[in-house]
Chain A
Amino acid sequence: MSDDDKGLFQNTRHLVRMAGIFAAGIVAFVGMRMLLVPEGFGRYGHYRAPAIGDNMKKPISYAGRDACAECHADVVEARKASKHVGIGCEACHGALALHTSDPAKSKAVKPKAAQLCPACHEQNVARPKWFKQVNGAEHSGGEACDSCHAPHAPEL
């Protein structure tokens, strides 16, 4: 009878010891997890949720044509009937977010037609056939494109 009691007592001590080790392991796991897993990880998937915000934060360089139209209504009007109507202003004039945020501080630079126009319109066999192309040397003999064509409405 007393032997049985002793045996039971010994077994209980074993179990308590094991439970203690398990508990310590779980506490260590939860603690490590809280330390090592970054904020928001796993909220929407296997990634840091704040990374979405990080990608949103960057500043813009290209303001978009709507921002240009707010001040330059005359150019919008000039392009209306032209084939160039669909082209974004910054396709030719370059990134202008600095200019639209403070027009006095940062000025837009007028592009040079002799370099700008051939980027699209110089003859190239890989260009689609419907697109207007010229052999610059034959077409104007070195004359600047904008001496005949108005860039905002190039049709003659």
Chain B
Amino acid sequence: MSDSRTDKNRREFLLQGTKFIVLTGVAASAWDYVLAGTPEAAPSYKASQHWWAMMIDIEKCIGCGGCVRACKAENNVPLEPYYFRTWVERYHVRGEDLAHPDVDTPNGGYDGFPEIYHADDGAKSFFVPKMCNHCEHSPCVQVCPVGATFEAPDGVVLVDSAYCLGCRYCVQACPYGCRYIDPRTNTVDKCSLCYHRITKGLTTACCETCPTGARQLGDLRNPKDPIHAFIREHKVQVLKPQMATGSKAYYNGLDGSVR
């Protein structure tokens, strides 16, 4: 009889009615999952409890190429043609000319970097490891016409290679050049943040093999993860912040010349 009860019934009726009308079949059953906040998860891994990020310390990178070799071995990336899920660039900046650095990456750094500069040439040189930035607002995800690339509930940008058409829109959309078309499958491939490893409690292959700890996988939803202290205690930056991609690859010691 009371007004509140009537309101509640009406609200309930409208909600149920809208659900029934708007959602059909698969979508209706999925709605309950979405409302409950239970993302796709392996029995031991709840994706919604993680928010993965990468910390890259340029001050520590020695350009050994260990990450590039490990990544190719772990993820079955073709050795030739020269495609990479992660690679290392060598920057050479003359004086104050930040706008025109010399950048080279011989075979992505797979075989290391032969010395081509001189210590007293008045320039500075350093290595920059590159990889998929696992953007929160990924241009690649936005352009995919079929939903074959997406951001998982734990922040990792993944490729659905069974559903990818190989149309290459995402390859062009990525501002960081992190994607390639695998010539064996004609579908797109890129860093998956070693999703098959991090969901088992392991770190990525590149982090596992980096001898100086220049790369550290971090979980931003784990308050005890050292990545919080690192970001707090260092002046970190992401690549191309002006593009507002929401990159989750945080660089320490990033020079203004780095593109």
Q: Is the CB of B26 within 8 A of A45?
A: no
Residues from chain B with a CB closer than 8 A to the CB of A55 are 152, 158-159, 192, 195-196
Q: Does B232 contact A (CB under 8 A)?
A: no
Q: Is the CB of B211 within 8 A of A120?
A: yes
Once bound together, how far apart are the Cα atoms of A30 and B23, in whole Å?
A: 11
Interface residues in A, total, Cβ within 8 A: 48
> Which of B40, B65, B159 lies in contact with A49, CB distance below 8 A?
B40
Once bound together, how far apart are the Cα atoms of A125 and B65, in whole Å?
A: 16
Of chain B, the residue at the smallest CB distance from A43 is: B30
Q: Is the CB of A128 within 8 A of B208?
A: no
Contact flag A127-B62 (CB < 8 Å), given A42-B26, A95-B74: yes
Q: Does B39 contact A (CB under 8 A)?
A: yes
Once bound together, how far apart are the Cα atoms of A123 and B116, in whole Å?
A: 11
Q: Is the CB of B152 within 8 A of A52?
A: yes
- Which of the candidate stretches A8-16, A31-39, A72-80 sits at the interface with the other chain? A31-39
Q: Does B27 contact A (CB under 8 A)?
A: yes
Residues from chain B with a CB closer than 8 A to the CB of A43 are 26, 30, 33-34, 40
Interface residues in B, total, Cβ within 8 A: 64
Residues from chain B with a CB closer than 8 A to the CB of A51 are 148, 150, 158, 160, 162-163
Tell me the residues in window 102-157 of chain B with beta carbons closer than 8 Å to chain A beta carbons.
112-113, 115, 117-119, 125-127, 147-153
Q: Is the CB of A88 within 8 A of B90?
A: no
> Which of A56, A95, A123 lies in contact with B70, CB distance below 8 A?
A95
Q: Is the CB of B42 within 8 A of A56?
A: yes
Tell me the residues in window 72-103 of chain A with beta carbons closer than 8 Å to chain B beta carbons.
86-88, 90-91, 94-95
Beta-carbon contacts of A31-73 to B below 8 Å, as 1s and 0s?
A: 0011001111111111111111111111111101100000000
Q: Does B165 contact A (CB under 8 A)?
A: no
Beta-carbon contacts of B52-77 to A below 8 Å, as 1s and 0s?
A: 00000001111111100010011100
Once bound together, how far apart are the Cα atoms of A86 and B127, in whole Å?
A: 20
Contact flag A64-B202 (CB < 8 Å), given A52-B152, A88-B209, A95-B74: yes
CB<8 Å pairs between A and B, sample of 11: A40-B30, A41-B26, A43-B33, A44-B39, A49-B40, A50-B40, A51-B160, A125-B125, A126-B63, A126-B113, A128-B60
Known contacts A62-B70, A62-B208, A126-B63, then 5 further A-B pairs from the complex at CB < 8 Å, ordered by chain A residue: A45-B151, A46-B147, A58-B75, A62-B202, A123-B115
